[in-house]
A = this chain, B = another copy of it.
Amino acid sequence: MQNVFIHHVFFWLKEPSNDLHLQQLIEGLQKLSAVTTIKSFHIGKPAATSRGVIDTTYSISWLNTFETAADQDSYQVDPVHLNFVKECSHLWEKVVVYDSIAV
């Protein structure tokens, strides 16, 4: 996957122990995955690994690959994405995004 655009988002829920909120976010991401410019995606939670450098504090990981940077730009303004933000943004207190292109 060396030539793809990587878009990796980490969500910290306002109520990380609230299973209903967790499920609502997961279902929102499953709907969001329908955006047609997304090449591949992964909805994740922290693995059981544990070392000092590993951040396990987030609630949900949302990893996407896109063919091009333009496809990711398009995703940002896609109605499906805008609807996801509208429906789910009340659930989280922090989001961190890492966008990467091939070196």
Contact = CB atoms under 8 A, between A and B. Distances in A.
A79 interface: no
A interface, over-half SS: strand
Total identical chains = 2
A54 B1 contact: no
Nearest to A8: B8
Given A44-B103, A48-B69, A103-B44, A55 B98 contact: yes
17 contacts: A1-B41, A8-B8, A8-B63, A26-B103, A43-B103, A44-B102, A45-B101, A46-B98, A46-B99, A46-B100, A47-B72, A48-B69, A48-B101, A49-B99, A53-B97, A56-B99, A61-B98
Interface of A: 1-2, 4-6, 8, 10, 26, 40-49, 51, 53-56, 58, 60-61, 63, 69, 72, 95-103
